[in-house]
Chain A
Amino acid sequence: AQSVTQLGSHVSVSEGALVLLRCNYSSSVPPYLFWYVQYPNQGLQLLLKYTTGATLVKGINGFEAEFKKSETSFHLTKPSAHMSDAAEYFCAVSQNTGNQFYFGTGTSLTVIP
């Protein structure tokens, strides 16, 4: 069975500071990994994904994530936070044997001016 753990349900950073949102997964087979962002009263928007190949993945809005198999992690980072980054972020995993996504509980990011 798949599971995703997002450490820290709430993260606050100052504008211009580094953003680090943590995601760990459990999977018995190589997973596909995703980060989505959700703004208030909206659906989920894909930030980036890892399927195979390069373990450092770049996404939209300056975000990137690194797949570390040995640590079963897929942490999301952004060098410099912007006020518009304030949102809910979800890490998700799917197995290459199925189409079902398993989501973490989400991390709410607050950016302090």
Chain B
Amino acid sequence: KAGVTQTPRYLIKTRGQQVTLSCSPISGHRSVSWYQQTPGQGLQFLFEYFSETQRNKGNFPGRFSGRQFSNSRSEMNVSTLELGDSALYLCASSRKYQETQYFGPGTRLLVL
């Protein structure tokens, strides 16, 4: 069974731009969570979607948004990029609520 895939793997943007990251969960998984990983803050929870509904949201500004499609694929969007948004963005999927999360390889975003 294929794992969680994330595209693109690497991205370079400039301040003020916006970016969209994509995540395809493991087949049959309906929950998708997003995390931001930085050297200073570690792994921080962004939000979680289940069956196209956002169920949980972390403590991030409204510039960070996401959505989930009927096939469980998810996208996250960051508008008006700031230098501090440079990070590894990880997507994780689980079959259902409260089950083990399986992580993708991440998208490394660099904001210049």
Contact = CB atoms under 8 A, between A and B. Distances in A.
A104 B100 CA distance: 17
B39 to A, nearest CB: 10
A45 B106 CA distance: 12
Contact of B98 (A43, A90, A99, A102): A99
Interface stretch (B13-21, B48-56, B63-71, B78-86): B48-56
A98 interface: yes
B111 interface: no
Contacts of B94: 99
B103 A102 contact: no
Band of interface residues on B: 20 to 34
Contacts of A43: 4, 90, 103-106
A42 B31 CA distance: 21
B76 interface: no
A99 B103 contact: no
Interface in B72-112: 90, 92, 94, 97-98, 100-106, 108
B98 A32 contact: yes
B103 A45 contact: yes
A43 B98 CA distance: 20
A24 to B, nearest CB: 16
Contacts of A49: 100
Contacts of B101: 101
Given A43-B103, A99-B48, A104 B42 contact: yes
Interface of A: 32, 34, 36, 41-46, 49, 90, 94, 96, 98-106
Interchain residue pairs A-B with the least CB separation, the first 6? A43-B103, A103-B43, A44-B103, A43-B105, A105-B42, A100-B56
27 contacts: A32-B98, A34-B100, A41-B108, A42-B105, A42-B106, A43-B103, A43-B104, A43-B105, A43-B106, A44-B90, A44-B103, A46-B102, A90-B43, A98-B56, A99-B31, A99-B50, A99-B55, A99-B94, A100-B33, A101-B35, A101-B45, A101-B92, A101-B101, A102-B45, A103-B42, A104-B42, A106-B42
Given A43-B106, A44-B92, A100-B56, 20 more contacts: A42-B105, A42-B106, A43-B4, A43-B90, A45-B103, A90-B43, A98-B56, A99-B31, A99-B33, A99-B48, A99-B50, A99-B55, A99-B56, A100-B33, A100-B45, A100-B58, A101-B35, A101-B45, A101-B92, A106-B42
